Chain A
Amino acid sequence: MSEVVLSARDVTKVYRMGEVDVHALRGVTLELVAGELLVLLGASGSGKSTLLNILGGLDNPTAGKVMYQKQDLTAASDKALTLFRRAHVGFVFQFYNLIPSLTARENVALVTELADDPMTPEEALALVGLTERQDHFPSQLSGGEQQRVAIARAVAKRPKILLCDEPTGALDYKTGVKVLEVIEKVNLELGTTTAIITHNAPVAAMAQRVVALHDGRIQREELNEARVSASQIEW
């Protein structure tokens, strides 16, 4: 059994929305193993984004325990969580969340400025195939290109973990596949532990392991015996 990088044990999350409590997670236990590519499947409202946010240190759980290797993240301070994200986690969001006033290269540099042993922004952009477009502003890039910049930004610091929240959600099929290919490439070439959350079931085909979430609980978890490469996925 390989090393467990990130783990969640009996994690619950309750949001108070006005006068009602919304149970986003109702006791989830999950481990991320070094170097694996995991796909978290779930319909909208299943709690998958909440889980990813908690795993990535963007949010605190209401109950349960979250560990990064030997470090307990459960009740970590804002500062500790910031340090954790800064050092170990790369994020890719559905809507890219690029800084519109910075070019592709500068968006990547936002991260390389913070990291200890980063790639250069140029290397990171080359990895996602955007060398030609590095001086373009987000508004001058297509959605797929923007998402690839976001991936370059996420991996430039050589993070331990790459967390992708609906990375293809805003993209058409062809561009979506291209983005998945890049994530796969990062996972293979850099060995980054990767979790992709998606509501798009065919994406699960590229995973080593698939976890399905429903109504805040893990519905099923399985190893993918018939793994295919991202380029072969169709939907």
Chain B
Amino acid sequence: MWLHPLRRKLFRDLTTLKGQIVTIALVVACGVAALVTMQSALRSLRDARETFYAASAFADVFVMLRRAPEAVGGRLADLPGVRAVDTRVVGMGTIPFADRSEPARVTVSSLPGSLGRLYLREGRLPEPGRNDEVVLSDAFAEANELRPGARVPLVVGGVRRNVQVVGVGLGPEHVIVMNVGDMAMDAKKSGVLWMNRDAAEAALDLGGSFNQAVLSTVPGFDTREVIDGVDEIVRRYGGLGAHDRERQMSDFMLSQELMQLENMSAQIPPLFLLVAAFLLHVVLTRLVQLQRGQIAALKALGYFNREILQHYLELASVIVVLGATLGVGFGAWFTREMIGLYEEYFRFPTLRATLDPQTAITAILVATLAGVLGTVTSVRSVLKLTPAAAMQPPAPARYRRGLLDIGFFSRLIGPSTRMILRELQRRPLRVALSALGIGVAVGLMVVARFFGDAMDYLVDVQLHESQRWDAQIAFAEPRPLSDLRVFESMPGVFRVQGLRAVPIRIVHEQRSRHISLFGHFGDPEHALQRVVGAAGVAFEMPADGVLLTDTLGDLLGVGPGDTVTLEILEGDRRTLQVPVAGLVDELFGLQAHASADTLHRWLGQEPSTSLALLSIDTAQAEALDRRFVALPDVIGVAHMARVLQQFREQSAQNIGVFSLILTLFGAVIAVGVVYNNARVALSMRERELASLRVLGFTRAEISTILLGELAVQVFAAIPIGLVLGRVFSEAMAKNVDPEMFRFPVILSTQTYAFAAVVTLASAFVSALLVRRKLDRLDLIGVLKTRE
């Protein structure tokens, strides 16, 4: 016989169990797909980063300064531990596209030398001496449909000139390009423009000098020592504090993303595999019970326990292999999609979606382990019996009288309800685990919408309570307050306010951070930008001292009443000791706040402003825009309405995909648990239900008994799931770097309702599938078979 009879039995069993096999395999597939996708994306991004950083000689230490003669670069190179130095001239510029009201903001930089070299995707570098030739960052060029040969207007330092695009490329310091202060990335509006050093010096008025230096260090040398040495040298040239890669904007954001991916890949896939193991256990336990007599016969015929165990393991492995194969396939597909999404933000010379074979193998092994676990736990009990005992039908299930049998309750409930309740009471652990399984599904659906909810709340608090302006104008240099009058006279402008921002280093004992210190004008009642805590309440500025973001307070180890040192990184660069007046639970970033009066007193300056905040007639936004851009020294104009729209579109896109996938995964688990439980319950109680039919119960009545049990589990699972959803969401929120965002775990009623409704719908579909089987119950056949 070409196939062992046990194999034939396996294939026939598989055919009878196909519905259950498919639903469990899908749960396995989700777990494997999640693991493969996240790990592969992680690997792809990491590889792309390593390759690009190595090929382009990405620097280790970075410093911005006001202006230093080129000779200072030589002194930096002489510092111990420094391998190479590259000095640059960097500034901000705008590209006022003729067909758009809002100009694009670009970082204007001299071409990198030995460090952070450009990768050219198209065209060439500017020729020496050609000061009108530029290279554009590729995402920006792509978004604005600019290719080598295009001419664009460029405004730097109030001077407008036309430049010729000769190349499109990217640099390791600009893997992601986002303007400071923007809430969302917009490739159309922010980019990098590289030109010859002479051209940049001329445009930025920095002849013979530099204002940025990047350094590479000797491997193994303590970077902090280099940073201190650099700070020491550039202090008198207006140094803004040297830092390592960790605080390099582009690398920081990339690292954030990698960290999130890594954490999620450790959290989500194990959930699925646990549920899959549980389902395999439930289904196989029932199968083994049903086949108890067969197992006994096999043992009587002389089959060893391990041969019988192997037979059931083969059954489980078919499910696992099917699931894992599907999972790897889906994983490969999701990875491509995910990498596609990443490519819109993170730019590398090559970012390839590579399916990580090691991960695929790990995922399959882990899934197999789950399968083995589920199988062994269910088969073991029968294998332990002697064949003689296994041959006997299992002892009748033991039911107990319980609470519901007390006279009063007893009269209230009919026999069907009584059967449902006794059954639930008999297997409390199974009921609890099933409810937990469905709960996981509900929880995933809650998490699916958590980021959306959190974003909505952030936007609500940040944009409606904190940033109440319609337009914000950024100046290249602080301006006297009187300069704001020019806006007041513009038609359509209702109100103007200033906001002073000063770059500082805040120090307490050994700990320090580079942050912005904001000077607020006016009282919070009327201010266009105010300091708002997580609960949406605005804070009044203290008469003396600073308010710190609470996360910053934690980092520095200070609280109200403590004194911190502020090193002002502009003007005369004075150092101050000031008291901490309080901590604020702000949702974004790390910053310090003071009243404008206090700040200017500390600075020893007349009141000035870095930003103009405007309340305007939004209908006139476009006309106003043209006037704003024409003003000298304006480096940026932001409109709240557009920021909001951009932000919403971007998060809808990112969160949308994530949320859809998690919802689908949740539904797969819900169907997996409910359907399998129903099938198992049906096979266990076939005889009982058929007997009831013979006694005259209708189909609807016996359906009620079977499905009622499931309904109780599902309803019990929903509150559990909502709580789990909150727990999962808290875990997710922790994946986000606290220095950047504090995601409030605030879940809307709609989210809870959504999770509950999708779960109920999944349960309903599963119930329908089982109901079909119930309707086809073969009364005579079932009763004739021996239990």
Contact = CB atoms under 8 A, between A and B. Distances in A.
Interface of A: 50, 53, 56, 58-60, 78-79, 82-83, 85-87, 89, 91, 93, 95, 97-102, 106-107, 109-111, 113-114, 121, 153
A110 B6 contact: yes
Given A53-B388, A58-B387, A59-B386, A86 B8 contact: no
A109 to B, nearest CB: 5
Quick one: which of B12, B297, B301, B387 has the most chain A CB within 10 A?
B301
Contacts of B301: 85-86, 91, 110-111, 114, 153
A114 B297 contact: no
Contact of B1 (A83, A99, A109): A109
Given A97-B293, A97-B294, A101-B13, A56 B300 contact: yes
Interface in B338-396: 386-389, 391
Contact of A114 (B9, B303, B386): B303
Nearest to B10: A101
A109 B5 contact: yes
A82 B299 contact: yes
23 contacts: A53-B386, A53-B387, A53-B388, A58-B299, A59-B388, A60-B386, A82-B303, A82-B305, A83-B302, A85-B301, A97-B293, A97-B294, A97-B296, A97-B300, A99-B294, A99-B297, A99-B298, A101-B9, A101-B12, A102-B9, A106-B1, A110-B5, A110-B303
B303 A97 contact: no
Nearest to B299: A82
Given A58-B388, A95-B786, A102 B302 contact: no
Contacts of A59: 386-389
A89 B388 CA distance: 14
Contacts, number: 85
Contacts of A111: 301-302
B221 interface: no
B386 A86 contact: no
A78 B299 CA distance: 10
Nearest to A87: B302
Given A82-B303, A86-B302, A114-B301, 13 more contacts: A59-B388, A78-B305, A85-B300, A85-B302, A86-B303, A93-B300, A97-B300, A99-B298, A101-B12, A106-B8, A110-B303, A113-B1, A114-B303
Quick one: which of A50, A87, A99 has the most chain B CB within 10 A?
A99
Contacts of A114: 301-303
A95 B300 CA distance: 14
Contacts of B293: 95, 97
Interface string B291-317: 001101111111111000000000000
Given A82-B302, A114-B301, A99 B9 contact: yes
Interface string B647-683: 0000000000000000000000000000000000000
Given A58-B388, A97-B391, A91 B9 contact: no
Contacts of B8: 101-102, 106
Interface residues of B, number: 27
A122 B74 CA distance: 96
Contacts of B485: none
A91 B305 CA distance: 18
A161 B171 CA distance: 84
B772 interface: no
Given A58-B388, A60-B386, A93 B297 contact: yes
Nearest to B386: A59
Quick one: which of B5, B12, B297, B389 has the most chain A CB within 10 A?
B5
B401 interface: no
A110 B6 CA distance: 7
Interface in B1-47: 1, 4-6, 8-9, 12-13, 16
A106 B5 CA distance: 6
A58 B302 contact: no
Interface string B762-787: 00000000000000000000000010
Given A59-B386, A59-B388, A97-B296, A113 B9 contact: no
Nearest to B15: A101
Given A58-B300, A153-B301, A113 B388 contact: no
A59 B299 CA distance: 11
A113 B294 CA distance: 17
A53 to B, nearest CB: 4
Contact of B300 (A78, A83, A91, A106): A91
Interface string B627-657: 0000000000000000000000000000000
Contacts of B386: 53, 58-60
A24 to B, nearest CB: 11
Quick one: which of B13, B294, B296 has the most chain A CB within 10 A?
B294
Contacts of A98: 297
A113 B9 CA distance: 14
Nearest to A165: B391
Contacts of A50: 388
B300 to A, nearest CB: 5
A82 B13 CA distance: 25
A60 B13 CA distance: 32
Contacts of A107: 5
A165 to B, nearest CB: 9
A82 B302 CA distance: 5
A102 B298 CA distance: 13
A50 B388 CA distance: 8
